[in-house]
Structure 1
């Protein structure tokens, strides 16, 4: 029997978590070249609330009202459009559906290749909640590290290392053989050590604290939060060519965006997770009916790891 209506988080106005509501909406249908996914979990990211905070920012992402919420999803294919190859009903998949992932169903292009509109087979060994955290953060971490190219001879400073992108960036840099120093709050020290990073408190005097930890010098830096790590890295003599940002623009420093991740980067991250070589800490899970407190927790930017919505 066809599904006619479904749940989806909707915004009738742009703003903070207080504008998020769960609504009954017409169930989307897969058209030619598309698949429909029955979503079981959706992972939250800072970009979810940043791009829906106001009308001007939303317009820059092509969003208009009423809008959906969330981009990362995982679930099971339940409808396949004409001309689709490589996917069949019952396949477990994960991927991105820009600002519409927190819903019972998403429709994406089967051949889509960006975090805004894509699906990938979920490897055996990865549960749906974990798969739902991979797309935005994994792509972004891979793109940032591609800028600085860490290797066994490097000491890499990662700013905002305990956040959603940081957990991937720290582990990927370690897998590349680099020594990693990660900035965070004092409360995140044990968490960062568990990821393989040497923790250092952010804030005034960061460069001096890093210098004490690494008297031999820092060779690369990735700033996942703002510009504090960029300035510390410059003070420590790191050349701009080996510094990267994801959330700020700094003259002379290359910004990274998950949309620019090299082809295959996300699939490689999924393989690493499935093999047990990369782990994704899930800080909290919420039922979709609690989307507002979930978004508030994520937007507070003090979560260690990822926040997931269960559908």
Structure 2
């Protein structure tokens, strides 16, 4: 089958289209005919070798963890899913090698859920990693609810746009950082926008003089440290970081999304109820994965980059 592969660490230039064996189907897995996948920053970070200390890597690597497609086969012990079911998944294994940028993917059932009925294939692929990261940060780590004021960093990005909508759906007031060109977009999602960069603290305090009750950090480093001063006294430590486990030193939580059928099902309910809508930045063909990496690396993408694998 066709897949995107890389045979050594590097930038977008190491990606190539190749032929790889069809994945074997385990007893608790399903084989998915892939329709679309989405591109996440972690994909090119892994390809660059940045997570080499955290994962065993087996070359050649097929990148990608997000997938949307149709079940072609089921393992002998699988229940709850059948051939023909439309599903989405965050198909992360304990080592790096078999990814989702391919025509077919073998996915453990614990990593998949039914596709939201009201989404296109392109929108569906955008949900798993970004949606789970935002959902698990807000629901499990921060336990956000009515009465909270949540600061979401990089609120117009893939994870940030999910976080804004999910926090608003949970009843929270949301302040989101973004460039000025994305402020109207954030208002449409339910956030009060502020421009990121020097003076951010003062701008946030103008909206929330007493401070915020929770923070979703996308940057780490000095941005994380300076943001901690915006937390109310009764909310110390109520911060998650998606990029830097140094947040643990400040009493916060480091979030690296976990595959979860239950959480994907909760997201599906929010999406089908119109509370969350995935934002698509651009759709490219699978053969354009290198260009997708370059766009993602630019850091100026609103929403998600999606690769179209097949049209079914």
With over 3 angstroms needed to count, the CA separation of the structure-2 counterparts of 1:291 and 1:220, relative to structure 1, is: same
Paired residues of 1:52 and 1:58 also in contact (CA < 8 A): no
What's the CA shift for 1:149? 2.2
What's the CA shift for 1:237? 4.1
- Of the three residues 100, 116, 125, the one matched with 1:123 is 116
**Consecutive aligned runs of 4 or more in structure 1 exceeding 4 Å deviation:** none
With over 3 angstroms needed to count, the CA separation of the structure-2 counterparts of 1:161 and 1:227, relative to structure 1, is: farther
Paired residues of 1:42 and 1:70 also in contact (CA < 8 A): yes
- Of the three residues 289, 307, 310, the one matched with 2:308 is 310
Which whole-Å deviations, capped at 9, do the CAs of 1:192-216 have from their partners, x for residues lacking one? 1121111111111110111112224
Superposition TM-score, scaled by structure 1 size = 0.90
Structure 2 CA distance for aligned equivalents of residues 260 and 10 of structure 1: 23
What's the CA shift for 1:228? 4.9
With over 3 angstroms needed to count, the CA separation of the structure-2 counterparts of 1:227 and 1:157, relative to structure 1, is: farther
Structure 1 CA distance for aligned equivalents of residues 274 and 169 of structure 2: 12
Alignment of 1:293 with 2:291, yes or no, is yes
Secondary structure of 2:36 counterpart: strand
- Of the three residues 121, 127, 130, the one matched with 1:137 is 130
Alignment of 1:204 with 2:198, yes or no, is yes
What is aligned with 1:241? Answer: 237
Which whole-Å deviations, capped at 9, do the CAs of 1:101-134 have from their partners, x for residues lacking one? 1100001223x3xxxxx22122322222222111
What is aligned with 2:281? Answer: 283
Alignment of 1:183 with 2:177, yes or no, is yes
Which whole-Å deviations, capped at 9, do the CAs of 1:244-279 have from their partners, x for residues lacking one? 111112312221221287x72221111211222211
- Of the three residues 200, 207, 211, the one matched with 1:213 is 207
Paired residues of 2:214 and 2:231 also in contact (CA < 8 A): no
Paired residues of 1:182 and 1:199 also in contact (CA < 8 A): yes
Paired residues of 1:144 and 1:257 also in contact (CA < 8 A): no
Secondary structure of 1:37 counterpart: strand
Structure 2 CA distance for aligned equivalents of residues 214 and 36 of structure 1: 49
Structure 2 residues not aligned, in runs of 5+:
93-97
Paired residues of 1:148 and 1:242 also in contact (CA < 8 A): yes
What's the CA shift for 1:13? 0.8
Superposition TM-score, scaled by structure 2 size = 0.89
What's the CA shift for 1:29? 3.6
Cα RMSD (Å):
1.9
With over 3 angstroms needed to count, the CA separation of the structure-2 counterparts of 1:197 and 1:38, relative to structure 1, is: same
With over 3 angstroms needed to count, the CA separation of the structure-2 counterparts of 1:121 and 1:7, relative to structure 1, is: same
**Count of aligned residue pairs for this structure pair:** 298
Paired residues of 1:230 and 1:243 also in contact (CA < 8 A): no
Q: How does 1:216-231 map to 2 (within 5 A)?
A: 216-231=210-225
Paired residues of 1:192 and 1:199 also in contact (CA < 8 A): yes
What is aligned with 1:115? Answer: none
Structure 2 CA distance for aligned equivalents of residues 281 and 237 of structure 1: 29
